[in-house]
């Protein structure tokens, strides 16, 4: 079966992994990079090298770009707008929702379809079916090219608003940093009493993947409804436990900035009369 031809623009760590995944799935893959030397290794693995952006765009209908940022993308495509007419541009560079929406508007004005994407994995995860890539923008383009994009990992469609992939990306990265910093805080705490990180971490992972994800699922409808029955654990109970975390941290000389943030939000909500509510009530401390 003949696979769809793909063009990959940008061959940094991520772009190279993307091109390799398309090659591994049997797609004729044309590559271009600002510094041409980066095309050599891919050419030895079967990629077709394009000397110019225009030649790269002429190679197929689906164009996947993964350069540093949106400014770099617009710079490299400047003057090539006509060559993009009738094609689909999939931009996998990280950026803001506003930049994604602005780029979608530019694409519509130039007569080509646009998909914005967010890669929720590092390069070694590209090509694995369990890896998640988020897409938003043209629904027709997503449906038409879903099978080809699946070569990179599991493609999730977030709908026609091109800004949503970037918005989810930033929200999910924030969740990742919060989780990692929470884990590091816990690791420092138990480490002060001689427990190695590798001993603490399997327990932490079990806590996160079992109980904590369950709390998220339980609290999501509360956040949507703006109604936070504290019938599992009230903010009053949480605040008392936060004070134990602060005490244990201070006693071991561990930084308290993170638990102080939790404590401040809980104290504010309780002072406003919401002590009997669930933890989900704290979303209102973040949005007011
Ligand atoms: N690495 C990851 O784990 C990861 C994960 C998710 C998302 N991303 C996103 O993927 C994008 C690429 O990341 P990366 O890790 O591949 O970065 P990288 O290894 O630093 O590569 C950057 C790429 O951008 C190109 N570039 C930079 N400025 C350019 C310009 N003005 N014109 C044309 N090309 C330009 C570089 O070309 P030269 O080779 O000529 O310098 C190179 O191909 C970023 O937006 C990043 O946030 C990366």
Mean pLDDT in consecutive groups of 10 residues from the start of the chain, 288 residues: 93 98 98 98 98 96 98 96 95 97 97 97 97 98 98 98 98 98 98 98 97 97 98 97 98 98 98 98 94
pLDDT at 183: 98
Indicate which atom in ligand 1 lies nearest the CA of residue 9: 43
Has domain 196-287 been given CATH number 1.10.1040.10? Answer: yes
- pLDDT value, residue 1: 63
Distances (CA, A) of 77 to 54, 55, 277: 9, 12, 52
pLDDT value of position 2: 87
The number of the ligand 1 atom at minimal distance from the alpha carbon of 10 is 43
Ligand 1 pocket mutation pick from 67, 70, 78, 132 by most atoms within 8 angstroms of CB: 67
Find the residues whose C-beta lies inside 6 A of ligand 1. 10-15, 33-35, 38, 66-69, 72, 75-76, 93-94, 119, 122-123
Question: What is the model's pTM?
Answer: 0.95
| Ligand 1: centre distance to CA 150 (Å) | 21
pLDDT value of residue 262? 96
Boundaries of CATH 3.40.50.720 in the chain? 6-161
CB 66 within 8 A of CB 12: yes
As annotated, the residues of the chain forming the CATH 1.10.1040.10 domain(s) are 196-287
CB under 8 Å to 208, separation ≥6 — which residues? 179
Q: Which pLDDT does position 47 carry in this prediction?
A: 98
Atom of ligand 1 minimally distant from the CA of 121: 5
**Class (C level, CATH) for 6-161:** alpha beta
Q: Alpha-carbon torsion 275, 278, 282, 288, what sign?
A: negative
């Amino acid at each position: 079966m003949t696979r769809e031809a793909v063009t990959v623009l940008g061959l940094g760590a991520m772009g190279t992994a993307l091109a390799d995944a398309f090659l591994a799935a049997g797609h004729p893959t044309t590559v271009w990079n600002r510094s041409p030397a980066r095309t050599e290794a891919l050419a030895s693995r079967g990629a077709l090298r394009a000397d110019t952006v225009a030649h790269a765009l002429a190679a197929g209908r689906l164009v996947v770009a993964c350069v540093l940022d949106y400014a770099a993308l617009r710079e490299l495509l400047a003057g090539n707008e006509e060559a993009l007419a009738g094609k689909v541009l999939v931009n996998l560079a990280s950026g803001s929702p506003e930049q994604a929406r602005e780029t979608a508007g530019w694409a519509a004005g130039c007569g080509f379809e646009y998909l914005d994407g967010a890669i929720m994995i590092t390069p070694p995860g590209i090509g694995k079916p369990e890896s998640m890539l988020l897409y938003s923008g043209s629904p027709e383009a997503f449906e038409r090219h879903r099978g080809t994009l699946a070569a990179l990992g599991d493609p999730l469609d977030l709908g026609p608003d091109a800004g949503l992939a970037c918005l989810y990306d930033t929200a999910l990265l924030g969740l990742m940093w919060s989780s990692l910093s929470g884990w590091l805080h816990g690791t420092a705490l138990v480490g002060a009493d001689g427990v190695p990180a590798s001993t603490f971490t399997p327990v932490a992972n079990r806590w996160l993947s079992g109980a904590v994800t369950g709390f998220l699922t339980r609290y999501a409808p509360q956040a949507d409804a703006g109604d936070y029955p504290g019938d599992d654990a009230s903010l009053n109970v949480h605040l008392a436990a936060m004070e134990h975390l602060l005490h244990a941290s201070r006693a071991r000389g561990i930084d308290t900035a993170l638990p102080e943030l939790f404590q401040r939000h809980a104290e504010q909500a309780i002072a406003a009369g919401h002590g009997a509510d669930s933890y989900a009530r704290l979303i209102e401390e973040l949005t007011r």
